[in-house]
């Protein structure tokens, strides 16, 4: 077998391996996405506090107005789950995910917004929130 034929065979095998790895990653990613959207409760719960309305109008997300204009945080958002953190951005989804009506919310980490993260733990049939982290002032 000539060296040109060997190089072409090696190139063909390399392309086949990359193609198979891409297909496998696609199947695994779709399975993971299906698992998350079927049960968003497995993700960390996120409560967001903000001095102004963030206008998050997604099914399952509740905006609550807090205190007076004197308080640092006038709005609280419940019903969000942390999908991923990337740099200074948080990708959040609703606890009541519906592929037709829901969307991913992206919030940037700033001093103006406070986020509290918790994980729901079943304890004798009741939900207990365990405080994990807090960002902001």
Q: What is the pLDDT of residues 82-114, one digit of tens each?
A: 999 999 999 999 988 877 777 889 999 998 999
What pLDDT digit, counting tens, does each position of 30-74 carry?
A: 888 778 877 888 889 999 999 999 999 888 899 999 987 788 899
Q: CA dist 110 to 11, 21, 49, 114, 115, Å?
A: 48, 38, 11, 8, 10
CA angle 113, 116, 120 (to 5 degrees): 155
Could you identify the residue written with the tokens 């391996």? 17
Q: Residues, the chain, total?
A: 137
């Amino acid at each position: 077998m000539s060296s040109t034929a060997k190089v072409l065979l090696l190139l063909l095998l390399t392309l086949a391996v990359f193609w198979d790895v891409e297909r496998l990653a696609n199947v695994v990613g779709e399975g993971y996405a299906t698992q998350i959207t079927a049960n968003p409760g497995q993700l960390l719960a996120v409560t967001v506090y903000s001095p102004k309305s963030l206008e998050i109008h997604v099914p399952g997300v509740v905006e609550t107005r807090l205190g007076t204009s004197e308080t640092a945080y006038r709005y609280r958002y419940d019903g969000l789950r942390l999908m991923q953190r990337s740099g200074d951005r948080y990708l959040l989804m609703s606890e009541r995910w519906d592929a037709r009506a829901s969307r991913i919310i992206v919030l940037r980490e700033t001093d103006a917004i406070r986020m509290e993260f918790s994980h729901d733990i079943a304890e004798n049939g009741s939900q207990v929130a365990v405080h994990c982290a807090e960002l902001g002032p």
